[in-house]
Structure 1
Amino acid sequence: MYEPIRSKSAHSMAEASDFPHRTREEELDIQLAGHLAALLAVTDELGLETEGNRIAAQVARLRGTAPTRHAGPSGAGAAALHDRALALAGRALVVAASRADTAAAILAAERMDAHTAALRDTQLVGTL
């Protein structure tokens, strides 16, 4: 009545391929390292050397190699840089929390607080 299936299923063929697969943890490590590396670039542009070194240490831990440090300024103002850094630190915090990386989460939260305070100070200076 029905013709038997003679070829392998597409699903079983995909599983047997040599395509490299990453675990969820590996994907989160890559994502977190990317957010922290972007935060490092903005931090370096702001001239925050000590904070940059702390971020670089976390990137090196996640990637296994030291990150390349920011080479040149973008020409953005301090308020725009702090705003960008705040957003990047927030993204890093979300990923760090989802992978239960306490050290990176604490660092990201501290950077969020620092950039929020810097933005508040920048707004106060503009009103004087």
Structure 2
Amino acid sequence: MYEPIRSKSVHSTMAGTSHDFPHRTREEELDIQLAGHLAALLAVTDELRAAAPTADLDAAAERLAEQVTRLRGGHAPARASVTTTGREPNAQALHRRAHTLAGRALVVAASRADTAAAILAAERMDAHTAALRPRELAPR
């Protein structure tokens, strides 16, 4: 009724038999995930720096770039050049997005027990919360 399988399965169910594809440890997967969240946070930080440059954002961008470089084994993150797109960026939306990304990075850093990245992510969450607070709490 059914034709028998003639080729070897690509999914090995027997432990220790398949060495055909790369395996990563949990720590390596968390490093990749944390580097991705921090790189995304760096991209949003660069957008905020282009819209309204401050010393705090400059310092944060440098610290984020250092952490991403460390997590990627010395490979520096890609940085967007500051260009004008013809429209005014929405700083509030960028701060909300940065806050969300910092929260994600904090969760992964805590899971990975990476104190430096966790502290940086928590500081960025606080900074973006403070940037959002005056406008969101103001009476309309």
Specify if TM > 0.5.
yes
**1:25-104 alignment, distance < 5 Å:** 25-47=27-49, 48-64=57-73, 65-71=75-81, 72=83, 76-104=89-117
1:62-88: CA deviation from partner (whole Å, max 9, x where unpaired): 002111112346754000000000000
- Letter of the 1:90 partner, please give it: G
- Letter of the 2:59 partner, please give it: T
2:108 and 2:124 map into 1 onto residues whose CA distance is 15
Aligned to 2:21: 19
- Count of residues in correspondence between the two structures: 120
Runs of 4 or more off by more than 2 Å in structure 1?
A: 12-17, 70-76, 121-124
SS of the residue corresponding to residue 13 of structure 2 reads: helix
Identity within the alignment, %: 69
| Structure 2 runs not aligned, ≥5 long | 1-7, 50-56
8 Å CA contact 1:45–1:73 kept in 2: the answer is no
Structure with higher helix content: 1
TM-score (norm 1): 0.83
8 Å CA contact 1:31–1:95 kept in 2: the answer is yes
1:44 and 1:36 map into 2 onto residues whose CA distance is 12
- Letter of the 1:68 partner, please give it: A
